[in-house]
Structure 1
Amino acid sequence: MSATAAPLAGDGAGGCRHLAIIMDGNGRWAKARRLPRIAGHRAGVEAVRRVVEAAPGLGLDVLTLYAFSSENWKRPADEVSDLMGLLKHYVQSEIDNLHRNGVRLDFIGNWRALKPDMVALLERARERTAGNQGLSLVMALNYGGQDELVRAARGLAADVAAGRLNADDVTAEALEARLDTAQWPLPDAVLRTSGELRLSNFLLWQSAYAEFLVTETLWPDFDAAALGAALAEFARRERRFGGR
């Protein structure tokens, strides 16, 4: 997928209203430049700024970013600390701009299990932007798709055990309504940067009929042109939803 043929603003989504992105390649970007990994993560934050700024003009209503997975805790402690510090800095430094541009910021995953000061910061950001009607920016934090499904299933099982729900009422729709993403439409497309071909435990249920988009571009190099090219590729797809 080339990043050279970006469509004009407002013309490129081709029906893609919700794009989910697995932001991959920060470490490789830094290694190629003989820089520490944190330099790649910092450059990745700049890519987030560029993409969030470009998304509304390219027709997106919802942008979901895989910011920190539940598996990322396995990384070295200093790298985890750096990632959390960058997250805090991004929210603190960008919240005014996001709010001014009508962006609604929200989070999915077990983010309330993060440190109390981080949770308080994220809660304030959610509350401040809750009434905005522009782009919904959804950040997956301490998120794992399998964990999300287990939590949803556990909630349904508890309701059945308590008599609040009949077993026959446990349907796909009922489970979907318990997912972290219930308030947003399902993603039309899932994009992964850096050329990797795996979901990495991201939006497992929600991606059942999403289009997969892959680019060799490393996340720190991703920009408005690359986003436009991805959406143009999506527009060329024929979505069949299993019908033929």
Structure 2
Amino acid sequence: MAEQQLPVWNNGGIEPPANLQQDGWQPGVKPPAQYFDWLFNRAYKCLEELQAITEALETNKANGTDLTTLNNKVTQHLGGSVTDDNGIHGLKIERGIFTPTIYGSTTAGTPVYLNQHGFYTLIEKIVHFDLYLQLNGIGGMTGDVFIGGLPFVSENTTNKIPTFQVTIFGNIDLQAGETTVGGITLPNTTAIRLNASGDNLVVRVLTNANLGAQVYLRISGFYTRN
């Protein structure tokens, strides 16, 4: 904040001619008072402008919006990656693990797990997951086969049903012509229902009768959370 009062001079006077501004006062010249008024007024206006700029810079510095602070913030912003977890760009990213399960719709059963792993990345409301299951017995499960334990409840929107490809599978008994195992997640659930499909065949829901003791499954995909 300025400590000295501005030397106020509001009379704008008359601007001296260009030759006088170039050559200055000559001996014996008696300049009119209006010329001095013009000079004093110009000096006052320039000092007033400088004082306003200085006060604005001090205010901005106090508010953290001075040029140095802003430059540092810009540098930090440009240096931040859009994929940084909860980064300065505002993109919300979360990573974690979950424990997938396998169960029957009629009798859940008590499967024996040799491997049971799940990993996810949440980007805003988009969930990407990878899961891996390896069994050494299905433990008496019966009914349609489900994979449970997804990390987030799926979006509760009618007819929005994400589909997933079972990228690697083993010890699953497919019927003639079936070549692919996949899955769907119904709205507002954390489970995948397994299906079998093939060329010119109706999609069929897998049941416990299709599972051997040593089932092996790897599934990955995307879905939208609630």
TM-score between both structures, scaled by the size of structure 1: 0.22
Which structure is higher in RCO with an 8 Å CA cutoff and minimum separation 6? Answer: 1
Higher strand residue share: 2
Higher helix residue share: 1
Tell which structure's C-alpha radius of gyration is larger. Answer: 2
